[in-house]
Amino acid sequence: MSHNLFDLSGKVAIVTGASRGLGQQFALALARAGADLVITSRNVESLTTFKSELEGLGRRVLAVQLDVRDFMSIQTMAEAAHKFFGKLDILVNNAGCNVRKPALEVTPEDWDMVMDTNLRGAFFVAQAVGQYMVDRRYGRVINIGSVTCVSGYAGLAPYCASRGGVKQLTMSLADDWGPHGVTVNCLAPGWFKTAQNAVLYQDAEWVEYITDRIPLNRPGQPHDLDGAVVFLASDASAYITGQTLLVDGGISTGSTHAVPKRKGAAAPTPAPTPAPAPTPVAPAPPPMPVDASAAPGKEEAIAEFREAVTKEDPAIILEYLRALEQMLTPDEVTSYRQYTYLTAFAPNVKRVDELCQTGHWMEAKRFADEVRSGAELFEEVAALPAKIAATRTAFKDSLLKNFKEAFDREDMQRAMALLEEMDKTLTPEEAAPYAEMAREVLHAKKENLGVRFKMSMEDKDWIQALRVGEQLVKEFPNSAYAKEVEGMINKLRERAARQMGGKH
């Protein structure tokens, strides 16, 4: 009976952010329980190897590109997943990011990136997938949070705020969708070593500090989450919704020593780590030009770097590269930097070039921001802000020139279309004078047409009154003049027809 409750055979699960770390672990756990998978990443090519691993378990798998900060990308993903499988049963809302800085150093860009990914993205992914679940009156939504859903940590202000929001969002959606047979819960891991935080675990003093605060006396291992994610995805949790399940070794108890530790007491024995279920072996990483035997620890550092370059986060890759460079010869440093650039930075540089050529400087800026951590090492990355600024200036100048030309020709339809483009391209301060100019001219034109309409009506020139009236309705449909014309348009047409006939 219990086996059937946890069986996911025939179910379809979406796991976002599945190119690395816990996202892959969640997908593996669901696949082993019987679910078919939709896996997503900003770079869909990074999913190729993992897709094969899942298919090796006998599962149907769809890999889809998804940027959770892009609303249309979310809609496209959900539609593609539903079209491919015909239904969506489970969503693991996992895609996320982090910025580690003291609160006084957090920039608006840092804040927006974390919030747009972790909270805004989580909501709109849930919304896009949830519509299919609500229609079928069945679904399991699992929002991935963190122990920071319930605890605050220095240096993680944006991240803590976003994860606290995910906890509240979970409760709201649970209340909203519960009547439609959809449960919504939050799975909140504690301290797990992932690519996102791997640099912390290189600090032995910090590892000792954090371990001392965990009652089970060890950081989590990825497979520690398998049971929890399968439970929340299965019928075993059918009567649970709106809850946050903390899988954190007990750190959220606020583990603090209320009495001093006895000096000389033996160190606690870490709780045993259960052996993980067998995982398909990934193929060997790409070959690198290096003699791994030249320095102690070099071989391990190379292995960690090779693992990092299969991921998507340029900042994380650079962290591993900097650690590795201390063990490399100058020639090897050059080779590794070139490899890093081509792997993690060149695609974005190329995309920025393409977007600059088409005048999409705001989209170009987003791609440049993703690799800004490489500006110190790579001239091509360092040059991106200046390139985007030049593109923006040229695009702005062209836009303003076209607007003024349309304005001078009194082609207000064209001018207004350009004004809408300005709203997307210029800052509010830059666009304001042109918007005011357009409003003044439009008001004058509306009043002029209104006066001409009234004069034509007084002169009983029904043909002219009809022409001016139809222009008012077309260009100023919400004006009082347009509403007056609409009330008599049929009568005006009859009179104009008679008047025209009388002239022949």
Residue 209 falls in the annotated catalytic set: no
* Mean pLDDT of the region 79-86: 94
The tokens for 476 are 């100023």
Where does the pLDDT of residue 123 fall: very low under 50, low under 70, confident under 90, or very high at 90 and above?
very high
- The sign of the torsion formed by the CA atoms of 172, 175, 179, 183 equals positive
Task: Please give the Cα distance from 428 to 79 (Å, whole number).
Answer: 35
pLDDT at 267 over 60: no
* Mean pLDDT of the region 194-204: 67
CA atoms within 13 A on the CB side of 166: 37
pLDDT tens for each residue of 381-417 = 888 888 878 777 776 777 677 767 766 666 666 666 6
pLDDT tens for each residue of 6-49 = 999 999 999 999 988 889 999 999 999 999 999 999 888 888 88
- Out of 132, 138, 159, 201, pick the active-site residue: 159
- The predicted structure's pLDDT at residue 174: 96
Would you say the pTM of this structure is higher than 0.85? Answer: no
- The predicted structure's pLDDT at residue 176: 95
- The predicted structure's pLDDT at residue 434: 61
pLDDT tens for each residue of 419-473 = 666 655 566 666 666 666 666 666 766 777 778 888 888 888 888 888 888 887 8
Dihedral of the CA atoms 300, 301, 302, 304 (nearest 10)?
90
Domain boundaries, the chain: 2-253, 288-426, 428-504
Instruction: Centre a 10 Å sphere on the Cβ of residue 188 and count the other Cβ atoms it contains.
Output: 25
Where does the pLDDT of residue 290 fall: very low under 50, low under 70, confident under 90, or very high at 90 and above?
very low
Dihedral of the CA atoms 33, 34, 35, 40 (nearest 10)?
70
Q: What's domain 2-253's architecture?
A: 3-Layer(aba) Sandwich (3.40)
pLDDT at 239 over 90: yes
Within 8 A by CB and 6+ apart from 213, the residues are 251, 255, 256
**Sheet with 12-15, edge to edge strand ranges:** 61-65, 36-41, 12-15, 90-93, 139-144, 182-189, 244-247
Where does the pLDDT of residue 289 fall: very low under 50, low under 70, confident under 90, or very high at 90 and above?
very low
Task: Please give the Cα distance from 234 to 139 (Å, whole number).
Answer: 10
Where does the pLDDT of residue 217 fall: very low under 50, low under 70, confident under 90, or very high at 90 and above?
confident
Q: Which element (helix H / strand E) includes 216?
A: none
pLDDT at 274 over 50: no
pLDDT tens for each residue of 343-357 = 778 887 888 887 777
Amino acid at 257: H
Nearest to 225 by CA among 180, 269, 277: 277
pLDDT at 227 over 50: yes
* Mean pLDDT of the region 220-246: 93
